[in-house]
Amino acid sequence: MPEPVLFKGARVVDPASGRDEICDVLVDGGVIASPRASSATVLDCEGLVLAPGLVDLHTHLRQPGREDKETVETGCRAAALGGFTAVTPMANTDPVADNAAVIHEVLDLARAAGACDVFPVGAITRGLEGEAMAELGEMFDAGVRVFSDDGRCVPNARVLRNALTYVSAFEAAVIAEHCEDASLAEGGQMHEGSVSSSLGLAGQPREAEEVVVARDLAVAKLTAGRLHLCHLSSAGSVEMVRRAKAEGLRVTAEVTPHHLVFGEEDLVTYDTNMKMNPPLRSDGDRSALRAALADGTIDVVATDHAPHAVEEKEAEFDQAPFGTIGLETALAALLTHLVEPGELSLSRAIEAMSTTPARILGAHDHGGPIAPGRPANLVAFDPAAGWTVEPPFASKSRNSAFLGRELRGKVVHTMLRGELVVADGKAQR
């Protein structure tokens, strides 16, 4: 059992309870306890924010199959250093996580790593091929609560309908969709517009996302199933989600830090670390995403942490893979670019990165509230600490869109069930 720890003089920001106050928080026996005189280890938290541990709804840990890019161990360490106490690794592994055996393998690796809780995502269809449903019930029994074909939407609307209907029986499960019409997106290297034309790069129109968002919302309405839309990138998608929520559909949506911070203009140097899917879009799209996050239309900030080998990203732009790592920078990116300028309250940022994703996932031990008897899954960070994003990273990969950028906000402590897995900014596992 971990030794008692007292977080002294922290600013406790807890969206689940509405708290925002300076106080002491005692952890004893792995749970939040009532502060009292004890022999606890005292952590001076003056100037620090203490919040529920972050929860990432969209992570790639690559294991099994691409351990050269990331492993469960290195990914969990990166997550802990970024303030995350729970992550959901996607199913596009090798073999694909479309059965209970692969799910159990990932869970075993996570237990051995011990740095954060792992909730594996199960594939919607066998082999991510979009044709036949995977063994959803078997994977649910193994602990899966989110089902997704990751970088592929389910192309067959009937299969999607069947999946939404099937998981509705579980109540706690959700279908997560990457919204992209492959025929419209085919060959696209970045957002289709004036910048892609000037750079001579094939573009991917925002309509490639929007037509699938429209279809998926229609199918969700038909089935009354729980639908989660991954990494939205367009203003049109935001408006459709807003209308769907007003109609009472059971839909949630996420956005990534890189889509909130960067845009198509950031690709003028042909930096492959800026090559994403969906692509970074226009200023108007970015503004719409920020406003939707602030007003709650977009529920969650997720990293879409996508590690790649150095040689892959050093290829010619049209040959490089899509994606950026993000677990170690997500919190600081939000603090620097949205919270500090006043576009987003600190409480809303924590809600979108902790409380709400924990609720969607059904991870009841995460996301707060910070209250006596609750599991001590916490993060303490310094919102004023400046740092430069540069290797080495805890992640095995270095393909960060924020590479070389100055950010403010640094994780000091991360606690998982009462154990400090990050202490004074250093990983303990």
**Tokens 């541990």 belong to residue:** 53
> Alpha-carbon distance 239 to 243, whole Å?
6
The active-site residue out of 56, 304, 365, 382 is 304
CA-wise closest residue to 321 among 60, 57, 125: 60
Rounded-to-integer distance, Cα 397 and Cα 325, Å: 7
Using alpha carbons, select from 204, 259, 187, 205 the residue that is nearest to residue 229. 259
Nearest-angstrom CA–CA distance, 99 and 138: 7
Per the annotation, the verdict on 304 as an active-site residue is: yes
- Dist CA 293 CA 406 (whole Å): 23
Distances (CA, A) of 165 to 14, 45, 158, 376: 34, 47, 10, 35
110 with 76: CB under 8 angstroms?
yes
User: Treating both helix axes as pointing N-terminal to C-terminal, what angle do 207-223 and 235-246 enclose, rounded to 10 degrees?
Assistant: 10
CA atoms within 13 A on the CB side of 249: 26
- Interhelix angle 283-295/235-246, nearest 10 degrees: 30
Residue 254: closest CA among 325, 302, 209: 302
Tokens describing residue 364: 């009841």
Which residues are paired to 297 by β-bridges? none
The residues that are catalytic are: 304
